[in-house]
Every structure is written in C-alpha cells, then in structure tokens.
C-alpha cells in the first residue's frame, strides 16, 4: 500500500491530469475509483499563473456555484471523462478518475520542501514565516500545517498570489482557532481585514453571493481564518485527518427535494470549520414544508464556514434533501447550501 493510499485524498490537495489540468480536491469522501474535485487551472499560454513557458489560466475564478457550473459545462463539452454522476449525492459533479491522475500534490509535503529549501522566493518565504508564526503562537507542531493553492503547484505570481494554508486535524484546528481569538494577535504582523481591504472583500462577496454588503461584513466578523500577513492576503483551511472521519463515501444516500428557506437554532457547530461545514440544528421552521425534519445545514461554500455558534439563530436558503443512512437504516432531512440546483441563490446568514 503506497503512502498516498494510506493517507488518502484530503480536502485542498491538488491533482494534475494528463492534459496538464489542475483539480482541487473537495472534502474527504471519494468513490474508490475517482476523486471528487473541481477544475481550477488549465494550461494556457496567455494565462497569468505559472513560470516561463508553462502558463496557466484560472478557470475557477470565485468559489461560487455559478462558477462551478461553468467549469462543469466546459468539461462536458471538451473532457467529459471528468464528469461523474454520483448515485449517492444524486448530482453530476467533476471528479478525476484514478487512471487519469498524473500527480497528487500534498500540502504538507510542499511545506516540508519549502522548510528545507536553501532558496525561496519572497512569497514562499512569507508563507514559511506565517506557518512558523502560527505554529509558535498556538504551540502546535509545524507538522500540523500544509501549503495549498498556487504555491503548492509552483505556479504562483509574486505580484498578486495569496497564501492558502492548511491546518490538519481537529485538535490542531481548534487550538489554532482559540489562539487566534486571543486579542494580542493584531500586533504580530497578522491583521484582520479592515478599511479598504475589508470593504473590497465585502463588496466581492455581495457581488458573488446572494447577500448584502452588511451581511458580508457580519459574516467576516465571525471569520478567524482570513486576514493579511505582512500585507499579503492569507486564508487558513481546517482539514480532518483520516482517523477523524466517521463515514465513507456512499454510506448515506441523498435524495433531492426542493429549494427551501428556513430559520434554525445551531445546536452543534464543531464541524462548521471544515469542508463541508456542518451545523446541527434544532427549533427548525421551514417555510411551506411543515413536515420536514431537518437535522443539519451543510455547506460546501467556504464563505459559510464557522459563522454561527451554539445557541445562535441562522437564516438559510438551500436544497432540502432526504438522507438515508445505509449503516443504521435511519432517515432524516438536511438542507444543502451551494447546490447546483440553487444556482448561486442559496445562503446561510447569522440572525442578529
């Protein structure tokens, strides 16, 4: 068994294919013969990413459903082998069949490589300093971290690329989150977004999602994992380790029903910092579907991670799904935010 199989495919890993496409892995659950992932970069001589003659353009420009649907239709017309109808999720998604996989890029291996490299460019050097600072601040081993995104692929651009850092494991993630909540952090060259930077972030989110600029600002107020370090934007992504996963792909079957709006009180948010973000909820009121027994609200859109704590109310628009758990035989409902059917009109908002 190779190291890669033992470790499996984790959220925020990257894959390259025979055509030189780069796909980003989504979530921890994958069929045995392929990896659920979205197309992020394509080879393109006029693209803004890459080094020398190896240039790439970014296809997934924003992490939104309309953008995802664009990548699916591109693949459908040119490379349909990367589309896959999931009978567990009952939707068509993109996934890389293992037989087309050329390279599996692992964020923690990239970090080790950067830590040992004799010479780094300015962005790589800054990413290493950021990770070292986070490790020190939270008193967690540097082995809990990885570097993903364009730096992982070696196609970053010093003038505009940002830093995407991965934190592995529930314990390391929560230790870091709590350490960053400590008010002294602002002095450490790590800053939350403010002023013009925050305004731009909120405007962009309001443009790309069905929320107002005020909603975006409220959501940002809950974010512990986005900011700037020495003037460069960074984001932190929590990823569970294999032993922390309680299910396998296909253990649950999801039957789509309809798009609904609801309010609910969050009862358990410990999985809301991972992808997918899961909020277990109670006191649920679904408009027009009184018989729905919604137990959880789930989102694959990073904007909606860690935005509500236990006891807080959220307003949600998403796809009602009937869940059947093959292991226990039980059925219940959930609402998925970020479904293809929702076409970018779904959201989770904290109700102040």
pLDDT tens for 99-110 read 999 999 999 999
The answer, yes or no, to whether residue 129 has pLDDT greater than 50, is yes
The reply to whether 87 falls in a domain is yes
| Residues 120, 218 share a domain | yes
Q: Which of 105, 140, 167 is the last residue of a domain?
A: 105
Report the number of distinct structural domains present in the chain.
3
Range of the domain at 57: 3-105
pLDDT tens for 130-146 read 999 999 999 999 999 99
CATH number of the domain within which 334 lies:
2.40.50
The reply to whether 272 falls in a domain is yes
| Residues 115, 235 share a domain | yes
The answer, yes or no, to whether residue 217 has pLDDT greater than 50, is yes
Q: Residue 47: which of 59, 64, 37, 39 has the closest Cα?
A: 59
Q: How confident is the model at residue 1 (pLDDT cuts 50, 70, 90)?
A: very low
The token duo for 32 is: 């045995």
pLDDT on residue 4: 41
Q: Which of 86, 105, 124 is the last residue of a domain?
A: 105
């Amino acid at each position: 068994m190779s190291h890669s199989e033992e470790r499996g495919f984790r959220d925020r890993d990257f894959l390259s294919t025979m055509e030189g496409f780069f796909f980003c892995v989504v979530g921890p659950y994958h069929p045995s013969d392929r990896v659920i992932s979205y197309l992020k970069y394509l080879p393109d001589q006029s693209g803004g990413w890459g080094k020398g003659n190896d240039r790439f353009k970014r296809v997934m420009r924003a992490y939104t459903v309309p953008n995802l649907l664009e990548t699916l239709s591109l693949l459908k017309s040119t490379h349909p082998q990367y589309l896959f109808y999931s009978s567990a999720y009952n939707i068509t998604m993109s996934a890389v069949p293992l037989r087309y996989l050329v390279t599996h890029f692992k964020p923690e291996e990239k970090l080790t490589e950067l830590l040992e490299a004799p010479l780094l460019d300015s962005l790589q050097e800054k990413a290493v300093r950021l990770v070292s600072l986070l490790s020190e601040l939270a008193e967690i081993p540097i082995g809990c971290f990885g570097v993903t995104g364009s730096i992982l692929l070696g196609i970053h651009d010093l003038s505009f690329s940002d830093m995407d850092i991965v934190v592995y494991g529930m314990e390391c993630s929560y230790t870091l989150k709590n350490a960053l909540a400590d008010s002294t952090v602002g002095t450490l060259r790590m800053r939350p977004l403010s002023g013009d930077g925050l305004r731009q972030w909120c405007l962009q989110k309001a443009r790309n999602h069905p929320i107002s600029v005020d909603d975006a600002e409220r959501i940002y107020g809950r974010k512990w994992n986005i900011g700037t370090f020495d003037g460069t934007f960074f984001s932190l992504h929590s990823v569970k380790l294999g032993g922390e996963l309680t299910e396998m792909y296909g253990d649950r079957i999801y039957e789509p029903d309809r798009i609904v709006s609801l309010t609910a009180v969050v009862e358990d948010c410990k999985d809301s910092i991972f992808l997918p973000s899961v909020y277990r909820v109670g006191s649920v009121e679904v408009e027009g579907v009184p018989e729905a027994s919604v137990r959880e609200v789930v989102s694959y859109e990073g904007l909606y991670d860690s935005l509500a704590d236990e006891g807080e109310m959220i307003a949600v628009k998403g796809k009602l799904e009937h869940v059947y758990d093959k292991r226990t035989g039980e059925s219940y409902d959930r609402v998925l935010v970020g479904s293809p059917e929702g076409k970018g009109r779904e959201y989770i908002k904290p109700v102040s």
